[in-house]
């Protein structure tokens, strides 16, 4: 039977996740102080790790339960896999936190140092979660900084992983106070407040640019996921996309359709793509659309293509970050049920350049769906784009937390890089953001339509653009030195 401390830690983790989008209740993350305090006070490692496991399961189950919704799309014939999706994924992600707790608990000479090393370890664990086995940094605590636009500006200095360290420091501040280290607690409380004020000044010094003349049309067709790959309805779906895209005039010179909007192979149905482009675009226009692609070796890619008004493909980008169990199946030979989740054929990892050069718009960096959750994937120097385009299909998520979380993650990429972002979903929330994350306009979930948005300029390269995760590493070094000192000075029980 689970102890009261474990159950309360589970609840604390769940409530703390309310700091994440779409709720954005930033102070809710302070609930993590309770399991951190209980962890530091435990006399046995198994007891301490049960507390951390409960905290992680609460956080990840509450914030990623919507993943199971993908199994309910269509006829829901795979409903029996719901427990695996709803609890298996959180359990897997929780292992990163438990590993951090196992290392932190070794520092037994002071409760304050143990809390500090837990913070240190969790920050590293979140970085590892973003990289191990293709990575899955969804709902990292750093996304709690999306709660307010002023706070979000910190992403341009520290990036997601630096914000994760600072968010956890804020969360654990009450724990540090309770163990007698009040000055350090006050420091961790003060840092987000100071960053919010600095963010406000940053926004005040960079007013919304209303003089931009370039426009782009975002097209959200809302094709039902259960019907999307029905070949008998392909013509109907593609006609619907063209009608939706060209319903309003004048049409901007750049139009963006979502992930796999062209649901055929251009190598086999090129005439169909040509006809669609000619109907939808002005004579000097260009289209960015998602499509599946087969290469000469028969490999399957999830791709984006730049198409001109004559229907000619001018550039192709093949997705590099694939969704585990969505676009490829790890250990397929050992998992006989995996075909029902990932399909019988894996997508291949792309190697092409993600930059498109579009006349009148300059360099555009492509992110396909899941790729937008990863920081530091946009080029620097000559490869730095004027615009980021994220095409996606969030129809799998339904009316859950997923579409809003995915939107917030894309928004943070714009702020990190100082480059405007246009995000286009089949269903979900299509939107545009300027280089500071301010919303330029959006199409609501489940709404068929288009929106024409100005393309504001990118700003000067941010600190994160220039130096990547150096800010995060700097925070770790400073914290490591500080916690080593605490571990030497304090004794457990003081």
Inter-CA distances, 421 with 13, 122, 148, 160, 203, Å = 32, 30, 18, 17, 17
Q: How far is CA 104 from the centre of its chain?
A: 28
Nearest to 166 by CA among 190, 138, 188, 150: 188
Among 216, 265, 261, 255, smallest CA distance to 428 is for: 261
Q: Give the HSE-up count for residue 208: Cα atoms under 13 Å, Cβ half-sphere.
A: 8
Torsion of CA 236, 237, 239, 240, to 10 degrees: 110
- Per the CB < 8 A criterion, the answer to whether 89 and 60 are in contact is yes
CA distance 358 to 336: 45
Residues in CB range of 65: below 8 A, 6 or more apart: 86, 90, 400, 401
Q: What is the DSSP letter of 350?
A: P
Q: How far is residue 259's CA from residue 370's CA, in Å, rounded to a whole number?
A: 11
What does each C-alpha distance from 462 to 141, 155, 239, 378, 419 come to in angstroms? 22, 9, 42, 12, 9
Which tokens go with 377? 């994937």
| Separation of alpha carbons 220 and 278, rounded Å | 19
| Length reported for the chain | 494
Q: Give CA–CA dist 324/131, Å, rounded.
A: 13
Residue 127 CB partners (closer than 8 Å, separation 6+): 161, 164, 469, 472
- Active-site positions read 259, 319, 369
Q: Cα(480)–Cα(80) distance, rounded to whole angstroms?
A: 45
Contacts of 30 (CB under 8 A, 6+ apart): 16, 170, 171, 173, 174
Euclidean distance between CA atoms 247 and 157, whole angstroms: 42
């Amino acid at each position: 039977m689970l102890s009261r401390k474990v159950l309360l830690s589970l609840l604390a983790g769940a409530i703390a996740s309310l700091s994440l989008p779409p709720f954005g209740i930033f102070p809710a993350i302070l609930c993590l102080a309770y399991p951190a305090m209980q962890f530091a006070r435990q006399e046995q490692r198994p007891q301490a790790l049960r507390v951390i496991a409960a905290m992680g399961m609460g956080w990840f189950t509450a914030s990623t339960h919507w993943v199971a919704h993908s199994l309910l799309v269509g006829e829901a014939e795979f409903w029996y896999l719901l427990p695996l999706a709803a609890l298996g994924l959180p359990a897997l992600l929780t292992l990163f936190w438990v590993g951090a707790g196992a290392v932190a608990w070794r520092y037994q000479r002071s409760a304050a140092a143990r809390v500090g090393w837990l913070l240190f370890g969790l920050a590293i664990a979140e970085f590892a979660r973003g990289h191990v086995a293709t990575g899955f940094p969804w709902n990292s605590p750093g996304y709690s900084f999306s709660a307010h636009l002023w706070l979000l500006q910190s992403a341009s200095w520290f990036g997601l992983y630096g914000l994760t360290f600072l968010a956890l420091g804020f969360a654990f501040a009450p724990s540090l106070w309770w163990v007698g280290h009040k000055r350090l607690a006050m420091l961790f409380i003060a840092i987000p407040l100071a960053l919010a004020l600095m963010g406000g000044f940053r926004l005040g010094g960079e007013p919304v640019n209303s003089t931009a003349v370039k426009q782009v049309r975002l097209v959200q067709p809302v094709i039902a996921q259960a019907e999307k790959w029905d070949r008998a309805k392909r013509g109907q779906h593609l006609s619907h996309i063209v009608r939706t895209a060209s319903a309003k005039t004048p049409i901007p010179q750049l139009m963006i359709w979502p992930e796999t909007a062209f649901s055929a192979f251009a190598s086999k149905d090129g005439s169909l793509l040509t006809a669609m482009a000619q109907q939808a675009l002005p004579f000097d226009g260009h289209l960015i659309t998602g499509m599946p692609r087969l290469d000469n070796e028969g490999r399957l890619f999830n791709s984006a293509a730049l198409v001109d008004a004559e229907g000619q493909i001018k550039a192709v980008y093949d997705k590099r970050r694939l969704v585990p169990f969505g676009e490829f199946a790890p250990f397929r030979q050992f998992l006989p049920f995996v075909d029902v989740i990932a399909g019988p054929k894996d997508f291949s990892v792309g190697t092409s350049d993600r930059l498109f050069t579009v006349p009148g718009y300059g360099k555009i960096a492509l992110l396909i769906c899941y790729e937008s959750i990863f920081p530091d994937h946009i080029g620097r120097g000559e490869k730095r784009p004027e615009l980021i385009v994220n095409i996606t299909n969030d129809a799998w998520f339904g009316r859950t937390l997923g579409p809003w979380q995915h939107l917030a993650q894309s928004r943070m990429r714009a702020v990190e890089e100082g480059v405007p972002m246009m995000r286009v979903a089949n269903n979900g929330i299509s939107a545009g953001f300027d280089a500071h994350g301010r919303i330029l306009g959006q199409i609501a979930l489940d709404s068929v339509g288009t929106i024409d948005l100005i393309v504001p300029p990118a700003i000067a390269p941010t600190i994160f653009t220039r130096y990547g995760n150096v800010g995060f590493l700097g925070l770790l070094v400073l914290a490591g030195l500080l916690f080593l000192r605490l571990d030497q000075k304090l004794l457990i029980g003081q």
